[in-house]
Structure 1
């Protein structure tokens, strides 16, 4: 039915669907097989389009990748005589992207969007060895760094510092972690524990807020839980605090502002330190100078300096 709708032979439609390219005397199949009817030969060339499933074809990708609908639009606009720049403007893409797509997806029958989409899906996995699975100087450097108890970040910085002009001596932090945790799945847990400072052999997910490590050991009292008499500022003795940090974090001071009178107290932090213990001691020391009826509550943000807030 599809072949009749577009006015082509059923075999031609099947060739389009299977990514077969053909000329007057040859047919080139997706697996690289090339049949030359004039010479009566069958040869094997490079794979043009690997077999891909519907899941790979329908997968939602990053917007920077062309979709099947966009490839169909490219074909329709080019058949209507539009230039590469006009097609690019219609799709919101650079003209160079359109040209590369047409060059890669065109055969003797012109640009074929469905065959081009299958070819792009087949190229996506990019089957190749992981960088750190290949023997060489880069792998030896990373292994040596891990033996020295360097973190993956330190290894990456050392590579750039010691080999500034050698692009082959580059590896990302993520690649090192992937290589380590991939080995851990293969049974080398002790070796990986020795190489990773955290001692973990599995990655800890960070994206799910419910599974993140809490910032504070003690549960927080949220601002929504404040009593009404604090909100309307009718009763004095309730304070708001904040931390002011100087240039390059070399100095710091904490402030306490009474909500009713706006009376302000400055909390000295020795040496400009603003870690949780220093801030805790400074607040305790300052608040103890107040009479008991003016020590109602203290509201602060969720900065790390409040890690000892319960104390």
Structure 2
């Protein structure tokens, strides 16, 4: 506003007061107009507290008095993570309620000292508040609580550059472990499927996903201590990586890299549990309670857990995981001759690739590559694909046991691994298109990811230690 126009609009005020107004305006840095000021931090804090209880963003928005679109926008832009501290303010700074009280008393022409006595604050605090955070769009100072709260929140911001923005080497390390290429053991890159462009939506359902190294943020953060033991600049918490991915404008990682996380979620959501279907072919001698005690103790290697991951068109991949090292083997289950050529026949031969005969053959071939001391037992779910377990045990020397119905926690290592594999083989996709070499590449990627439970070693490293211990002279067999 020009000086002449400002003087004309305020000509009814005394000269001394106008001089004070000019001084206040000159010392205050220019701030953009907020339009309608955003809800206070107290409202946002209550919104995120309600989100933490498990209710939807729409319900939380209505509960705190903002519109549903506003609540949805808060939740989406923050990636489901609270961008502010949920701790109550210490009382050092004026609250929105105190600013409302100041506005009411000031409108009643109360003096600064009287207002200070009413709200229990120092007169200097009230005086500075009336001058610093007053609205000025009308050409003179007008104190309104909503504008004052917005100005106070804007002035309190202390923007801090994210560590990933400042440290190029650290950013490249995180990016490579999160979004790096999957490679075969000989180093050849496996491109995998070509997914649709990311549109900012949540976890893609029944669609191809990008194949990547996909180390979890915690794996990346902990592995940095091993790879750079003497470089303190190469340190970052897993939560900082998550914030860089989920919260808009927080870090240097692109938002679409959330597709490289195991779940693929663009927002933090509770995860659902899967349930196994019971089978009717389990006899009393192969139930879970009959499994030897040493299988429960992960100190002894050679005890495995197994299951199938199912795709469309009755396609499947077998997964077996060693309980001690967490080493994974993927079993290729190609469709048998005649699949899709003859009409379906009830109780006819299973041509999908994971009938009892095909499963026994493929699983036996995979287990046969292991030393005899490392194939003691196999714990499977109750699926009928392993109904020929007696023949399998004869061929491989591996005793099969079946978990109880609806008890996935009895095969925890395999359940966890199947969750990891769903990043590469999503539900609702055709799994028969991947060759044995492709499955070997994915198993190689999983076996070379550091695990927290292994003190950030990789399953491949632990499995190699097990193999070396078997070849040491004088080591007694545990059979």
**Normalised TM-score (structure 1):** 0.39
**Normalised TM-score (structure 2):** 0.28
